[in-house]
Copies of this chain bind each other. A is one copy, B any other.
Amino acid sequence: MAEFKYKVTQIHGRLSESSKGWTKELRSISWNDKEAKYDIREWSLDHEKMGKGVTLSKEGIVTLRDLLNGLEL
């Protein structure tokens, strides 16, 4: 895997927690010094290791919000 750097600019909140203590969180992350994007991803207990997830632009996260508001939850 290519090297990359990232900076967590904001932790918006925790979505769930696994039995091993990993948490799924919504954060804003700047990848390789670019503009921060919204990121839904799994993190280790000490927040040092990142698991799989998706990164979304503002447009994508707005679309997600509107989709979720249209669901019966």
Contacts of A26 in B (CB 8 A): 64, 67-68
Is A65 a contact of B63 with CB atoms below 8 Å? no
Q: Interface readout for A39-73 with B: 1 if CB under 8 Å, 0 if not?
A: 01110000000001110111111111101110101
A13 at the interface (CB under 8 A from B): yes
> Size of chain A's interface in residues, with CB distance under 8 A?
28
Interface centre among A13, A15, A53 (most CB of B within 10 A): A15
Question: Whose C-beta in chain B lies nearest to the C-beta of A40?
Answer: B54
Cβ-defined contact, B61 with A73, below 8 A: yes
Show the binding face of A for B, using Cβ within 8 Å: 12-16, 24, 26, 40-42, 52-54, 56-65, 67-69, 71, 73
